Chain A
Amino acid sequence: MRLELVPRTDVPGYARTLAPLGAIVAAILIGGLVVALLGRSPAAALDVYFVQPLSESWGLQELAVKMLPLVLIAVGLSFCFRANLWNIGAEGQFVAGAVAGAMVPLATHGMEAGPWVVVVALVLGTLGGALYALIPAFLRVTLGVSEILTSLMLVYVAQLGLDWLVRGPWRDPKGFNFPQTVVFEPGAQLPMLMEAGRLHAGAGLAVIAVLATWFIFSRTLFGFGIRVSGEAPKAARFAGFDANRLVLIAFAVSGGLAGLAGIVEVTGQIGQLKPSISPGYGFTAIIVAFLGRLHPVGILFGAFVISLTVIGGENAQILLKLPLDLTTVFQGVLLMCVLAADALVSNRVRIVRTARA
């Protein structure tokens, strides 16, 4: 006896929309079970994880700040993933963007320059991320090198490069030997959106990225080409789309948005370069992209859920003495539930008794 997945032919649209919600409920139930096994009250954990951060202004702002880089990166990744290209180096492109963009505030430090500094920094950061992502794309197109390996390995190159810069040439001379640059001038930082809080103007960029991506995939021939080349490469060739050109553009867009996220994080949030500018945003964004089914609105939702678990996890560590690793566990359970819900919506499970032979 074995189990077989038989594809369903008529999946209603609402089932696909409801599947992630069902997955979240299932993940919360499993998470509650784990909390109970750790000897804590699941109800209290639910409150600390999901209710408190959403009921206070600081929590909401913190949530938006965490979501911002995830949304930018994941929306960019959707261009690659939809084309069936495996860019898993967004973390490196994030760092490359931060470094390329930071050149402007560092070069103009102490010069009383205007707000143009931050604008130029954002542009340079985007370009830096795009160029860095074009390395694996170019290697794939010309030499057939797997982009999975190259994009991942370039993450370490970028991180070590940043490390060298902030310990060497770019180190703040008055920084007591800490590995970090000077703090950027106020004019070189993104303005805050609210008086008391941490939400900065980068949020606007994320909203624009989501809307633009939605428009590109739903309305333009370019977005159509990306989708076809991911779904059926031979059909894309039949349609006359140039596969190599699509690889290069998808990587450039993806890297550009990751680079933008990097420089936004540095100019809006941290205010200087240091070795740890990202707690793994580039990798977490991969989960976010798939949680959101590579759809821009879905990605907003995915980033919301993941950020909530991160903030809730910090909360739970303080208030309930629950280990922070529980958050990682929960994220993993959530991803598995979403994938399972997906499989069960598109397929029917059939029990097959082995035939008499």
Chain B
Amino acid sequence: MATSDAPLVAMRGIVKRFGALVANDRVYLDVRRGEIHALLGENGAGKSTLVKILDGLLQPDEGDILWEGRPVALKNPDAAGRLGIGMVFQHFSLFENLTVAENIAVALPGAGGLHAVAERIADIGRSYGLTLDPGRPVWTLSAGERQRIEIVRALLRNPKLLILDEPTSVLTPQEADGLFGTLERLAASGCGLLYITHRLEEVKRLCTRATIMRAGKVVAACDPRRESVARLASLMVGADVHDVRAAAAHPVGKVRLEVRNLHLPSPDLHGTALVGAMLSVQGGEILGVAGVAGNGQSELFAALSGESLAPQPDDVLIDGAPVGREGIDARRLRNAAFVPEERLGHAAAPGFALSENVVLSRHATGGVVRNGLVSMASAKRIAGEVIRVFDVRKGGDDPAAGTLSGGNLQKFVVGREILREPGVLVVDQPTWGVDAGAAAVIRQALIDLAARGAAVVAISQDLDELFAIADRIAVLHDGRLSAALSARTATREEIGILMAGGHATDAA
């Protein structure tokens, strides 16, 4: 018999490797009865891997899991479910054409008839404030109502531990408020909750303990109610600043990239619309765009690169020319260059050789294509130059992009653009998931490019990086871009409050 003061679940020294990548590196985490425990971290920090292990979807390579003090093996989600571990996923898996009751009955073998299920749904609804009409077809429901189905579905199995993976990412603020009420009631009834998110405001409001992960490791455990949002943010993002040489004093020229009051609805259901974005970057300057992931970064990048067209031509200007309605190649011909966030699949085609990936972004601007014919010899020469100048380590003569390590591929896709000597460079997450050495090379290259007169926009979640390279920093929150603050005088707290949706004056 386990003692009642043992944590509900304790994960001890969990290690999970995927090939060379260590997704979880000796992770310790425990959740007690009746608490709402936040698991914080950036994308790729290892949160999902850890939670999948807890739900039985993945098996750890090392480490133990104790359930109420006893070691257990979670071989599959069913075994986890029998112990009392329930999971609410970020993306719903519901049958659109079935009713609420039918969807729940499908996931509950042996639940009795639809009628019995409907009654139990009503019971749960009354106890936790989860109103649902069992007879409604799912396709008529809002995102918040669909999530309630997922939660009720999990609750019907009487879980002792409920895991919620970024549950508010698709909810309106009002729906999120309703959810918080439910979660507090659940915790009060003795259920342990593990709440995964990168939204810091929610954590401060809801959670009593937080475990913070970065790069597969637990970096801190704290009481989020006692920490500032800015402190939580810096724990999450890390403080491993690498030394970069500041550029020698150089003149700042005229405005080369400008965005004027750009409104851009998101084409994607779960995307973020840009609301009245304004920015202007002069030659010789690096503008940093900070913000928590999912606040409109990729939408801003697409709007600047021309992958998404702006409503009006003069919403975006490059060297004074209105380019809002021009596509990415037309903007490249105006000597702009772009590096998207995703290295594999967006900045580079994984199965294509490095030389072919040169053709990918260089075909419009000359040197590799003549009369519709690709000159692979020229592409190989350019690839060789990028590899030499940026010290790209690779196996083989002209290997596929997918075989390079993250840092080396990032050096390649950044170098591919910088060697063109662009007048405007927009780069999204320049060193995301890249080792320290490569990050330093890339940051230095951005600083040097600006010193040669280019206007650079660096969108990054890494505040330390922005303070190291940027001249000014603007913050993107919920699709709104703040005014840019001088990186020399702004404090981490000011930026942190803007990242959480506050105003710069709040910090004073």
Contact: B360 with A228, CB < 8 Å?
yes
Are the C-beta atoms of B360 and A238 separated by less than 8 Å?
yes
Say whether, besides A6-B19, A221-B372, A221-B374, A235 and B347 are in contact (CB < 8 Å).
yes
Size category of the binding interface on chain A: 20 to 34
The reply to whether B346 and A235 form a contact with Cβ atoms under 8 Å apart is yes
Instruction: Kindly list chain B residues whose C-beta atoms are within 8 Å of the C-beta of A220.
Output: 372-374
When C-beta atoms are compared, the residue in chain B nearest to A235 turns out to be B349
Instruction: Given the known inter-chain contacts A219-B373, A231-B351, A357-B74, please indicate yes or no for A239 contacting B345, CB distance below 8 A.
Output: no
A-B contacts, 17 of them at CB < 8 A, read: A9-B395, A10-B395, A219-B373, A220-B373, A222-B372, A224-B359, A228-B352, A228-B360, A231-B349, A231-B351, A234-B346, A235-B348, A238-B307, A239-B328, A239-B360, A239-B363, A354-B75
Question: Among residues 1 to 30 in chain A, which have CB atoms less than 8 Å away from a CB atom of chain B?
Answer: 6, 9-10
Asked if A232 lies at the interface with its beta carbon under 8 angstroms from chain B, I say yes
Query: When A231-B352, A232-B346 are in contact, do A221 and B373 touch as well, CB less than 8 Å?
Result: yes
Contacts A219-B373, A239-B361, A357-B72 given; 10 further ones with Cβ under 8 A?
Answer: A220-B374, A221-B363, A232-B345, A234-B342, A234-B345, A235-B360, A237-B328, A239-B360, A240-B329, A240-B363
Quick one: which of B225-239 are within 8 Å of A by CB? none
Q: Which residue numbers of B lie inside 8 Å of A, CB to CB?
A: 19, 59-62, 64-65, 72-75, 305, 307, 327-329, 332, 338, 340, 342, 344-352, 356, 359-361, 363-364, 369, 372-374, 395-396, 403
Are B356 and A240 in touch, CB under 8 angstroms? no
**A222 — which chain B residues lie within 8 A by C-beta?**
372
A235 to B347, CA, bound (A): 6
- Expressed in whole angstroms, the Cα–Cα distance for A238 and B306 within the complex equals 9
Please give, as numbers and ranges, the residues of chain A lying within 8 Å of B347 by CB-CB distance.
235, 238
Given A228-B349, A235-B360, also A356-B372 (CB < 8 A) = no
List of 4 A-B pairs having minimum Cβ-Cβ separation, nearest first: A240-B329, A357-B73, A232-B349, A234-B346
Interface residue? A111 (CB, 8 A): no
Query: Does chain B have a CB within 8 A of A355?
Result: yes
Contact indicator A232/B350 (Cβ below 8 Å): yes
- Measured CA separation A222–B359 after assembly (Å): 12
CB closest chain-A residue, reference B347: A238
Q: How far is the CB of B323 from chain A (nearest CB, A)?
A: 13
Beta-carbon contacts of A213-236 to B below 8 Å, as 1s and 0s?
000000111101001100110110
Are B373 and A235 closer than 8 Å at their CB atoms? no
A357 with B59: CB separation less than 8 A: yes
Q: Known interface pairs A234-B345, A354-B75. Does A240 touch B327 (Cβ–Cβ under 8 Å)?
A: yes
Check A231/B59 contact, CB under 8 A, given A220-B373, A240-B328, A356-B73: no
Beyond A222-B372, A224-B356, A357-B65, whether A238 also contacts B346 by CB under 8 A is yes
> For B73, what are the chain A residues with a Cβ–Cβ distance below 8 Å?
356-357
In the complex, which residue of chain B has the Cβ closest to the Cβ of A231?
A: B349
Residues of A with C-beta under 8 A to B62: 355
* A14 shortest CB reach to chain B, Å: 14
**B59 x A355 contact (CB < 8 A):** yes
Residues from chain B with Cβ under 8 Å of A355 in the complex? 59-62
List A contacts of B356 (CB < 8 A).
224
Partner of A231, one of B60, B350, B395: B350
**What separation, in Å, do the CA atoms of A95 and B236 have in the docked complex?**
62
Q: Which residues of the other chain, B, contact A10 by a CB distance below 8 angstroms?
A: 395-396, 403
Q: Which residues of A contact B364 (CB under 8 A)?
A: 240
> Chain A, 21-42, contact with B by CB distance < 8 Å: what is the 0/1 string?
0000000000000000000000
Residues of B within 8 A of A227 (CB): 352
State the Cβ distance, B59 to closest chain A Cβ, in Å. Answer: 5
Q: How far is the CA of A234 from the CA of B64 in the complex (A)?
A: 40
**Across-interface contacts of A357 in B (CB, < 8 A):** 59-60, 64-65, 72-75
Give chain A interface residues in 68-90, CB to chain B under 8 Å: none
Does B345 lie within 8 Å of A235, measured CB to CB? yes
Query: Which one of A9, A221, A238 has the greatest number of beta carbons of chain B within 10 Å?
Result: A238
B339 to chain A, nearest CB (A): 10
Closest to A242 in B: B327
> Which of B59, B75, B349 is most buried by chain A, counting CB atoms within 10 A of its CB?
B349
A224 pairs with B348, CB closer than 8 A = no
Report the bound CA distance from A68 to B330 in whole Å. 43
Q: List the B side residues contacting A219 at CB < 8 Å.
A: 373-374
**B350 contacts across to A, CB distance below 8 A:** 231-232
Chain B nearest Cβ from A180, distance in angstroms? 45
List of A residues within 8 angstroms of B60 by Cβ? 355, 357
In the bound complex, do residue B307 and residue A237 qualify as a contact, i.e. CB atoms below 8 Å apart?
yes
- Contact status B361-A238, CB under 8 Å: yes
* Shortest Cβ distance from residue A212 to the other chain B in the assembled complex, whole angstroms: 14
Distance to closest chain A CB from B459 (angstroms): 15
Partner of A221, one of B59, B64, B307, B369: B369
CA distance A220 to B359 in the complex (A): 11
* Chain A residues closer than 8 Å to B403, beta-carbon distance: 9-10
Provide the bound-state CA to CA distance between A220 and B373, in Å: 4
Chain A: CB-nearest residue to B363:
A221
CB B398 to nearest CB in A, in angstroms, measures 12
A224 to B359, CA, bound (A): 9
Give min CB distance, B423 to chain A, whole Å: 18
A357 to B64, CA, bound (A): 6
B344 contact set on A, CB distance < 8 A: 232
Evaluate contact between A240 and B332: CB separation under 8 angstroms: yes
Q: Mark A239-250, 1 if CB is under 8 A from B, else 0.
A: 110000000000
Query: Which residue of B is nearest A9, CB measured?
Result: B403
Using Cβ atoms and an 8 Å threshold, which residues of chain A touch B72?
357
The answer for the CA separation of A330 and B506 in the assembled complex, in Å, is 75
In the assembly, what is the distance between CA of A235 and CA of B343, in Å? Answer: 9
